[in-house]
Amino acid sequence: MMAAMCVCAAVAGCGQTEEEETMSEVIPVQVVQPESGALTLKNEFVGTVSPQESVYVVPMVSAEVTSQSVAVGDVVEAGQELCKLDSEAAELQLASAQAQYDSAVAGANAAQIGYDVAEAQYEGTVAQLDAQMWGQKNLQLYQLQAQEEGIQANIDSLNEQKEELAKQKSDAQSGVDELNKASRNAQRNYEAMAQMVTALETAVDNTTKEAALTVYGTVLSQYAQSLYGTAITYTIDNYQEAVTLAKEMLKSAEAVQSQTAALLAQAQSGVSSIDQGEEQLDSALEEANRGLQQAETIMNITRDQVYADTQKVVDANKKTAELNLDSVEANVASANLGVEGAQIAIDSAEYQLDMYTLKAPIGGVIEAVNVKEHDFATPSSPAYIISNKDTMTVTFYVSEGIRNTLTVGQQVNVDRNGKLYDAAITEIGSMIDQSTGLFTVKASVSASDESLLTGCSVKVTADTYSQDDVLLIPYDAVYYDDSQSYVYVAVNGVAERRDIETGIFDEETITVLSGLTTEDQLITSWSANLREGAQVAVQAQQDAGQESGTQDDTGEEEQEEPQA
């Protein structure tokens, strides 16, 4: 472009005649037609490999290593023994705790035996005191209590009978209400049948007969259907049969009316009988309640006035015996607490003893061993580092612009010495890393071999900026006038300038957002004389994809923003 500007300047310095000759020259050009498509930029990053799961096995106690079971590179299972530490002191502590537990159990057993003896003594004392109170008072109280309970049982029975009668009365009253309704319906039906018979019998000429059949013909036909199974249409010709059938319907309605009335009277009589039964039960309940009150009065007088002083002495003696038993029971509870405390001491000693055997918390590969036999292990440094390498994590750093193009779950490629692995983004940082000034991104990759070593560097390739449904043209075909981008197109043998809006680009291709169509003939060759209005001769036409090359070439590493 600079060379073109220099040539233009040189041409401008010549005379008018020379410029006219230059303008009259026909410039041979190559053209392509813009193609609609998509452009995706790829960026490369340097990542560091680490196991997705890695643990440090740190001793919980300080002690000498007595045995070593694993070495660097060994594969271990979760719970597998790694090494043993000198546990003599812990074993002595466990033995002491066990001895204290046995002593506490013996003391608890002795306390329980003492409680059993005291309980038997208490029960004997209570029985003896109760025997002292057994006599006329207790016998009388027993009899009065039995009498009172009998009266109460009778009252309960009478109340149950009353509830049952109330339910029966409710059911009977419901029946009476239904029969009343049925009786009214039967009466209305009978009256309607009587009216129908009167209307049919009083009809003397064909006009009145036809009028009567118009009103009652459907009812008569339906009734005939119910009697004979066949509907009969009644006319003047069989009018007498209609009259006969109407009289039969009247008799049937009269029989239903009588039967309903009889049932209603029977139901009403049942309700009256239930009312009488309720009155009798109320009277019996009143008499029983009076008897219960009398029995309770006699019971209270007997309880409150007979042998009152003796009862106080007996109660005091019982209370003393109960307190003695409670004291022995408290000794048993205290002994049981001693057993529980001794058991806790054993559990603690066993837990302490277990600390002297280091075990693998996860399955994986031994990455580092920092202890050896007869060394002194301490909690200040890890004895082992174990990594689960079934899945590895690749950590890399990107700028904010690149970060905003990535998504969790997006597929990326990992290259380790030419060997490619498929990976997926699992984490995109939301805070700038202070040491790099970039955002942290992590991807998960399944490693079926040992090529991905912990801490090794890899190349990560990821799709970043992308534009779809845009026009693609060769990058070299675009010119710039200050900040305005433009191209030349061939129109009827003349070069025409087109201002365009561009998007992202790589080394060979740039996207056009506006200003061109797929029908335009884009001039891709360069000439010092190429300008607005210059005459051109199209020499060749290619596809934009062939002219510009691949549309997915890799962009520059750590590209901040899409280039425009």
Average pLDDT of the residues in 348-372: 90
Average pLDDT of the residues in 251-261: 93
**Residue at 519: amino acid letter:** E
What pLDDT band is residue 392 in, cutting at 50, 70 and 90?
Answer: confident
- This prediction's pTM: 0.44
pLDDT of residue 465: 86
Both tokens assigned to 391:
């899945």
Q: Which of 34, 31, 36, 21 is nearest to 492 (CA)?
A: 31
Does pLDDT of 166 surpass 70?
yes
Average pLDDT of the residues in 9-18: 43
Which of 166-180, 435-449, 547-561 comes out lowest in average pLDDT?
Answer: 547-561
pLDDT of residue 306: 61
Angle formed by the axes of helices 206-228 and 239-305, nearest 10°: 50
Indicate the domain borders of the chain. 2-11+24-40+466-548, 43-86+365-464, 88-355
pLDDT of residue 543: 57
**Residue at 333: amino acid letter:** A
Strand partners, 68: 83
Residues 480, 348: Cα–Cα separation, whole Å: 81
Mean pLDDT of the chain: 86
- Residue 292's alpha-carbon distances to 151, 152, 285, 299, in angstroms, are 6, 7, 10, 10
pLDDT of residue 547: 47
Do 2 and 444 meet the contact criterion of CB atoms below 8 Å apart? no
Q: Which of 52, 45, 144, 11 is nearest to 364 (CA)?
A: 52
Q: Which fold has domain 43-86+365-464?
A: Elongation Factor Tu (Ef-tu); domain 3 (2.40.30)
pLDDT digits 0-9 by tens, 111-157: 999 999 999 989 988 888 777 677 666 667 778 889 889 999 999 99
Give the N- to C-terminal CA distance of the chain in Å, as an integer.
Answer: 17
Which of 35-44, 390-399, 427-436, 547-556 comes out lowest in average pLDDT?
Answer: 547-556
Q: What length is written for the chain?
A: 564
**Residue at 445: amino acid letter:** V
In the sheet with 63-68, reading across from the earlier edge strand, the strands are: 357-359, 81-85, 63-68, 376-377
Any residues with CB less than 8 A from the CB of 181 and at least 6 apart, and which? none
Q: Which fold has domain 2-11+24-40+466-548?
A: 2.40.420
pLDDT digits 0-9 by tens, 271-306: 898 998 888 989 999 998 998 888 888 878 877 766
pLDDT of residue 541: 66
pLDDT of residue 30: 94
What pLDDT band is residue 364 in, cutting at 50, 70 and 90?
Answer: confident
Give the burial class of 400: count Cβ atoms within 10 A of its Cβ; 0-12 exposed, 13-18 middle, 19 or more buried.
Answer: exposed
Average pLDDT of the residues in 185-191: 92
Q: Which of 263, 247, 257 is nearest to 178 (CA)?
A: 263
